Structure 1
Amino acid sequence: MITLDKFYINGEWVAPDAPEDMPILTPSTNAKVGVVSLGNAADVDKAVAAAKAAFETFSLTSKEERLALLRRLAEVTRARLDDLARAITMEMGAPSTMSRAVQADAGIGHLEAFITALEAHDEQETLPNGDIVSYEPIGVCGLITPWNWPINQIALKVLPALATGATCVLKPSEHTPLSAQIYAEIIHEAGYPAGVFNLVYGAGPTVGSALSTHKDVAMMSFTGSTRAGSAVSRDAAATIKRVTLELGGKSPNVIFADADVDARVAEGVAECFDNTGQSCNAPTRMLVERSAYDRALEVARSAAEAQVVDDPALEGDHIGPLFDQIQYDRVQAMIQKGLDEGTRLLAGGPGRPEGLSQGLETGWFVRPTIFADVTPEMTLWREEIFGPVLVMAPFDTEEEAIALANDTDYGLDAYLSTGDEARALRVARRLRAGGIHINGRGTDYGSPFGGFKQSGNGREGGRFGLEDYLEVKVRPPFAV
């Protein structure tokens, strides 16, 4: 049994002010594998005080000093990748192969991209008018990360703070504390000064709110639901904090008939189901040109029926369980909602998949599901499901495809497939989303990630991620 009963504050592991224990459950069996202590506002006060004191000196470090620490951090992270992967599989159910090759590896991919961005970053420049602009760390940063991509999102928030000379307090999801604990150990071993990085476990309404309202926190960076992101913004408004948000999505996947339809449809189904559908930028609405629609339905059905669901402890390209019972119940309710609204079920449906390995009967496994002929007024078109559920619809013209793709409150990513380069560029220009995938190719580490509309504000990754953690100061040149 794992016990996480201390927080990392001012370079030490310290006991909570008034510990409140919460079980750590593994999604594949719903068994209890550990206990984590949750904090309160007093714990946040201690962590913020440590970060504020550390900022006085860490903010004055040179770029070269910070680059040296980041390179050391990369060495230690590589040495602990297997530990991170095992923790992620245990706490949130990502299959072993994915946990190491994608989930944990994101901690290295983003780190290398931030090192490259910092190397190229000019901390001072002279304007055409002769005035001098400097880019300085913003201060103490409150960072709140989700359970679905635990290390990916920790890296996207913690690393730019460390790179720019800011200090931080991390509140990871209380449901995925194992990987966060290891990440704190990695930072400690890398040699960061006490107080630069601090970790407090806790729930959003207590620890999250205490960070968002704290007068000494200069910036909040949050990834999670749109509802919770709105709450962070409201909490932060009283002290005029900078707030960056990466929220929900309902990403369209537009496939024209001149694309390689078989390949792009199969690939789109796999991307929707990846991470058991628990990705905010998953392509969950597949829009296919009508002349290729019937073929697309055949390919999609075959892909869904071939999708293996199994034990996340096993290696392979199967998908694992949903994260917990709340997710399971929500996804089941959404599938039933689709049936109640008369949506055509193409594959899957309610309940657990057949043929699960022995011992997984109590895990949160669901059937990969596809609905066809979905229209914009239907619930499955509009609401984020966060499970392996794809909806499909036909379109007749390019204009209709664009209108349907943009008919959502979200705008995180959009996917586009066509054999016509001019059309690809033309449609991409009109899609209201922060990231565009074309013909199966997405963007890489170091590129900006974030969305339009209710998918959030600000960008994470590379030089764009550094900018959110910097303030701009201007002065005239020195003259006697």
Structure 2
Amino acid sequence: MRDYLDFYIDGAWVSPAQPKTLDVIDPSTEQPVGRISLGSAADVDRAVAAAQRAFSSFGRSSKAERLDLLDAIIAAYKAREKDLADAVREEMGAPSLLASGAHVPFALMHFETARKLLPDFSYDVDHGSTLITKEPIGVVGMITPWNWPLNQIACKVAPALAVGCTMILKPSEVAPFSGQIFAEVMDAAGVPAGVFNMVQGDGPTVGAAISAHPGVDMVSFTGSTRGGVEVARNAASTVKRVHQELGGKSANIILDDADFESAVHQGVAAMMVNSGQSCNAPSRMLVPAARMQEASEIAKRTIAQQKVGAPTEEVNLGPVVSDVQWNRIQSLIEKGIEEGADLVAGGPGKPEGLNQGYYVRPTVFGGVNNQMTIAREEIFGPVLVIIGYDNEDQAIEIANDTPYGLAGYVQSGDIGHARDVASRIRAGQVALNYAPLDLAAPFGGYKQSGNGREWGEHAFHEFMEAKAVLGYAPA
């Protein structure tokens, strides 16, 4: 059992202002595996005060000092990789291979990317006699989700720290272990007191206090669109910058000139990664209507290869994160059946032999139309819908017919053809022919998928203000 009852504030581990604990549940067993303290507005006040004090010096630190600090964090993180992987496996049920092969290294790569970009990052531009310069925005509140807990912490902390901001982190209370160990990493790296602070807690209490706090200059939130709306409302009275990476219902357009067998197979497999709990998952597969049956058969064969089981075993899919998530996914699967979609694979209930744990049968629906509930709502589980289109213009229309715009995918045997289609998709990131992730490329969405961008140099700019100094140079 893990007992993580202290918060990290002003370079020290401190007790909460008001003792209150929450059990953390292992989704593979449905049993408690630890406790955290739930913070209050008083804890946020203390963390904000520490961050404000630290900003007066850290905000003016040299690039060389911050490069040394990034080096120290990278070294300290590497020393805790196994501990971090174990934490992710316990808190959210990620299979061991996924935890150690994706969750942990992706977070490290954000720090390595920041370390690589910072030496050549330019703050100043001469514009005649005016100097246009960039400065750190100040104190940043960071509210992160449970689905990629380390990645979402690192992709905020690394660029904010690189440009000289101080911060208060609230990890998800559903998956808080990795955030606690991350704070231990920051402490071991010698991050100056008050630069990084962590307060555990829930959204309505700690998250709302961070968002509304007048001493917080910016809030960066990753989570549901519903949660993002609440953060923006809470932040509105202080007119702070609100940076959001929210939900998605991303289309994967498989064009008729693609290697169809491979494209469908890879699309189904990609949807199942992390038990479907990824905001940029290719959750709507668009195929030529005349090839719906062919696509469904390929999808069914692919699902048969997916192995669901305990995260300590060599499996593709572990459980989903909680009973709340499991019940929501089940209700949407039932809704798909009720609305007349063709159940190609999977369905309601738990996989055979897995009666304990929040396990979901990997599910594919065929014959879906884009107005069905399962095509409109973000399911956030291992559920794929296949939608037919009659021509390319209709495929693009369907892809864009969503309140979201986080990601898109295009598969074609002709790269020029794929590029042309990508140019017409209203999404913040489009991958052609299952291109691998590029952590130096901007990540974020159009429409209700958020505002602003994470990852790489674009993230640096999100955590900075522009200042024009007139008369800086002789006229």
1:334/1:385 contact within 8 Å kept? yes
2:21/2:37 contact within 8 Å kept? yes
Task: Confirm or deny that 1:31 pairs with 2:23.
Answer: no
2:309/2:315 contact within 8 Å kept? no
1:446 counterpart residue number? 440
Name the SS of the counterpart of 1:454 in structure 2: helix
Name the SS of the counterpart of 1:105 in structure 2: helix
Name the SS of the counterpart of 1:174 in structure 2: coil
1:98/1:317 contact within 8 Å kept? no
CA-CA distance at 1:391 after TM superposition: 0.4
2:89/2:96 contact within 8 Å kept? yes
1:477 counterpart residue number? 472
1:93 counterpart residue number? 93
1:9/1:199 contact within 8 Å kept? yes
Give the Cα–Cα distance (whole angstroms) in 2 for the partners of residues 478 and 435 of structure 1. Answer: 40
Give the Cα–Cα distance (whole angstroms) in 2 for the partners of residues 117 and 295 of structure 1. Answer: 46
CA-CA distance at 1:421 after TM superposition: 2.4
1:222 counterpart residue number? 221
2:283 counterpart residue number? 284
Give the Cα–Cα distance (whole angstroms) in 2 for the partners of residues 120 and 427 of structure 1. Answer: 34
CA-CA distance at 1:88 after TM superposition: 0.1
Give the Cα–Cα distance (whole angstroms) in 2 for the partners of residues 419 and 107 of structure 1. Answer: 33
Q: How does 1:35-434 map to 2 (within 5 A)?
A: 35-127=35-127, 129-314=128-313, 316-356=314-354, 361-434=355-428
1:436/1:442 contact within 8 Å kept? no
1:77/1:107 contact within 8 Å kept? no
Q: Deviations over 1:50-105 (max 9, x none)?
A: 00000000011001110111011111111111110000000000000100110011
Give the Cα–Cα distance (whole angstroms) in 1 for the partners of residues 298 and 370 of structure 2. Answer: 23
Name the SS of the counterpart of 2:388 in structure 1: strand
CA-CA distance at 1:443 after TM superposition: 3.3
In structure 2, what residue type is equivalent to 1:62?
S
CA-CA distance at 1:125 after TM superposition: 2.0
Please identify, of 279-288 and 415-424, the stretch whose mean Cα deviation from structure 2 is larger: 415-424
CA-CA distance at 1:240 after TM superposition: 0.7
Query: Normalising by structure 1, what TM-score?
Result: 0.97
CA-CA distance at 1:312 after TM superposition: 0.3
In structure 1, what residue type is equivalent to 2:323?
Q
Query: Normalising by structure 2, what TM-score?
Result: 0.98
In structure 1, what residue type is equivalent to 2:159?
P
Give the Cα–Cα distance (whole angstroms) in 1 for the partners of residues 292 and 338 of structure 2. Answer: 24
CA-CA distance at 1:405 after TM superposition: 0.6
1:218/1:242 contact within 8 Å kept? yes
CA-CA distance at 1:113 after TM superposition: 1.0
Q: Deviations over 1:179-223 (max 9, x none)?
A: 011100111111111000000001111101111111110000000
Give the Cα–Cα distance (whole angstroms) in 2 for the partners of residues 420 and 212 of structure 1. Answer: 46
2:218/2:241 contact within 8 Å kept? yes
Give the Cα–Cα distance (whole angstroms) in 1 for the partners of residues 119 and 253 of structure 2. Answer: 37
1:261/1:292 contact within 8 Å kept? no
Give the Cα–Cα distance (whole angstroms) in 2 for the partners of residues 143 and 106 of structure 1. Answer: 18
Give the Cα–Cα distance (whole angstroms) in 1 for the partners of residues 259 and 432 of structure 2. Answer: 12
CA-CA distance at 1:110 after TM superposition: 0.9
Please, what is the CA RMSD of the aligned residues?
A: 1.1
CA-CA distance at 1:306 after TM superposition: 1.9
Number of residue-to-residue matches in the alignment? 474
2:308/2:315 contact within 8 Å kept? no
Give the Cα–Cα distance (whole angstroms) in 1 for the partners of residues 390 and 336 of structure 2. Answer: 24
Q: Deviations over 1:400-459 (max 9, x none)?
A: 110011111101000100112222111100100111111111431111110000000000
Q: Deviations over 1:23-48 (max 9, x none)?
A: 01100011111111101000000000
User: Structure 1 regions of 5+ residues with no counterpart?
Assistant: none
1:138/1:218 contact within 8 Å kept? yes
1:37/1:201 contact within 8 Å kept? yes
1:171/1:199 contact within 8 Å kept? yes
In structure 1, what residue type is equivalent to 2:248?
G
1:463 counterpart residue number? 457
CA-CA distance at 1:478 after TM superposition: 4.7
Identity across matched positions, percent: 49
CA-CA distance at 1:264 after TM superposition: 1.1
CA-CA distance at 1:111 after TM superposition: 0.9
2:129/2:473 contact within 8 Å kept? no
CA-CA distance at 1:317 after TM superposition: 4.6
Q: Deviations over 1:216-254 (max 9, x none)?
A: 100000000101100101111111100100000000010
Name the SS of the counterpart of 2:185 in structure 1: helix
Give the Cα–Cα distance (whole angstroms) in 1 for the partners of residues 300 and 435 of structure 2. Answer: 23
1:16/1:43 contact within 8 Å kept? yes
Give the Cα–Cα distance (whole angstroms) in 1 for the partners of residues 105 and 422 of structure 2. Answer: 29
Give the Cα–Cα distance (whole angstroms) in 2 for the partners of residues 317 and 152 of structure 1. Answer: 21
In structure 2, what residue type is equivalent to 1:325?
D
Q: Deviations over 1:459-479 (max 9, x none)?
A: 001100010001111112255
In structure 2, what residue type is equivalent to 1:396?
D
Give the Cα–Cα distance (whole angstroms) in 2 for the partners of residues 292 and 157 of structure 1. Answer: 42
Please identify, of 130-139 and 409-418, the stretch whose mean Cα deviation from structure 2 is larger: 130-139
Name the SS of the counterpart of 2:368 in structure 1: coil
Please identify, of 91-100 and 289-298, the stretch whose mean Cα deviation from structure 2 is larger: 289-298
